[in-house]
Amino acid sequence: MPGYGLNYQRLPIPYNLQIVTIAVAQHIPANCILIGWSLGGLVAQQIAHSYPEKLKQMVLICSSPKFSKSADWPSIVPKVLSFFTQQLNIDFSKTLERFLAIQAMGSVNARQDAKIIKKVGQQYPLPSLVALAAGLNMLQSIDLRE
């Protein structure tokens, strides 16, 4: 994804679902199996909608068509997403560490798993602050349920 991993310096402007979808769709072959994790799942779902010829199958991991809880959708309480956005601007590294810890929540070996996730993540450049902030905004506002 733009702004993450080896693409941390590739930042489309504006950084939104439509532009990120176009950027990712350009790099995937037709008739592929596309796997989307979390925010990447929103991008995968948008690719499925906008470029159906690109996909043979889609796999979503820890993703949803809507991440922000509402009266008709059980999901993440909006305050949690807002808190992450605020904390990202205050302490980037601590917020990133909290996010990684959340990835291991519910695991029998949560502490050990969090350490492994952190170690693997450290093999790559830090994600772009712009991409993280825009990603949190997307998680708060996007609704692909239709």
pLDDT for 97 equals 82
Confidence band (pLDDT; 50, 70, 90) for 22? very high
Q: Which residue has the tokens 């950084």?
A: 15
Q: Please list the residues that pair with 98 across neighbouring strands.
A: none
Residue 46 pLDDT > 90: yes
Long-range contacts of 60-64 (CB under 8 A, 24+ apart): 60/35, 60/36, 61/35, 61/36, 61/37, 62/37, 62/38, 63/36, 63/37, 63/38, 63/39
CA–CA dist 141, 109 (Å, integer): 32
Q: Which residue has the tokens 């909608």?
A: 49
Confidence band (pLDDT; 50, 70, 90) for 136? very high
Can you give the residue ranges of every domain in the chain? 5-141
Fold classification of 5-141 is Rossmann fold (3.40.50)
Average pLDDT value for residue range 72-88: 90
Residue 142 pLDDT > 90: yes
Average pLDDT value for residue range 129-143: 94
Average pLDDT value for residue range 116-134: 91
C-alpha torsion angle, residues 64, 70, 23, 26 (rounded to 10): 40
List the structure tokens of 6: 């080896």
Confidence band (pLDDT; 50, 70, 90) for 118? confident
Average pLDDT value for residue range 38-55: 97
Average pLDDT value for residue range 41-57: 97
* Average pLDDT of the chain to the nearest whole number: 92
Residue 104 pLDDT > 90: no
